[in-house]
Amino acid sequence: MRVMVVEDDENLRLAVTTELARTGLEVDEAADLAGADRMLGAGSGYDCVVFDRMLPDGDALSYVQRRRREGWTSPVLFLTALDTVADVVAGFEHGGDDYLGKPFAMAELTARVHILTRRAGTARPSVLRSADLEVDCARRQVRRAGVLLGLTTKEYAVLEYLITRAGQAVSRSELLDHCWDSSTDPMSNVVDVTVRRLRGKLGEPEMVHTVRGRGYRFAEPRG
């Protein structure tokens, strides 16, 4: 699951992104609405966006409302010191899905973000199965033939993304966008290395296939 934190307070932004990443989420960050707009415009799909309200270039309420009118559907949590009843109501009326006032408990924030990321994927079952492979999205556990596999966070993220697009060719750049944060060098070979290790842990018969010149595809073993 991928989230973005939009907060102009650098120390708070670092604390929030660090904690969300610790819980297994892929986290991007922006310091203002312009930065958030660039990331959203680049085509990166987010399962949740956490917005401070009063940012250097405007109130996030107006920004979210405009994006909603354009058809944007990613869940939004407003994280702000503006916490009167009127402020909370305005947050929901402008397209927010949740609202948390500052100061806040980090544990509560992470719990709320995880709830929203699950809401973003409500059409997807909590357990994905293909042949003898079982991916438990809630527990982030993978079993093959009943055996629990010890996947890293990145290996799990790649597998989950591929299995939800079974039969489709997924490019390396798409995997990089979805499973790594924006600081990752797009010219690195981290995707190929992660896929190779994932294949080794999944074992035979192979389920993650290379599509020459296009990327990778998840498919059930034949026969």
Last residue within a domain, chosen from 120, 143, 160? 120
CATH number of the domain within which 70 lies: 3.40.50.2300
Q: Please identify which residue in the block is written with the tokens 């993304």.
A: 161
Which band of pLDDT confidence, cut at 50, 70 and 90, is reported for residue 199? very high
Question: Is there a single domain that holds both residue 97 and residue 177?
Answer: no
Q: Where are the alpha helices (DSSP H) in 74-171?
A: 85-93, 106-120, 153-163
CATH number of the domain within which 168 lies: 1.10.10.10
Range of the domain at 12: 2-120
**Count of domains for the chain:** 2
Question: Is there a single domain that holds both residue 10 and residue 79?
Answer: yes
- Single pTM value for the model: 0.57
Q: What is the pLDDT of residues 45-64, one digit of tens each?
A: 788 999 999 999 999 999 99
Q: Which of 1, 29, 33 is nearest to 15 (CA)?
A: 29
Question: Is there a single domain that holds both residue 102 and residue 211?
Answer: no
- The answer to whether residue 223 is domain-embedded is no
Residue 206 pLDDT: 92
Question: Is there a single domain that holds both residue 140 and residue 191?
Answer: yes
Q: What is the pLDDT of residues 118-166, one digit of tens each?
A: 776 544 556 888 899 998 876 778 999 999 999 998 898 899 889 988 8
Residue 121 pLDDT: 53
Distance CA 15, CA 194 (A): 27
Question: Is there a single domain that holds both residue 131 and residue 193?
Answer: yes
Question: Is there a single domain that holds both residue 144 and residue 54?
Answer: no
Last residue within a domain, chosen from 120, 135, 170? 120
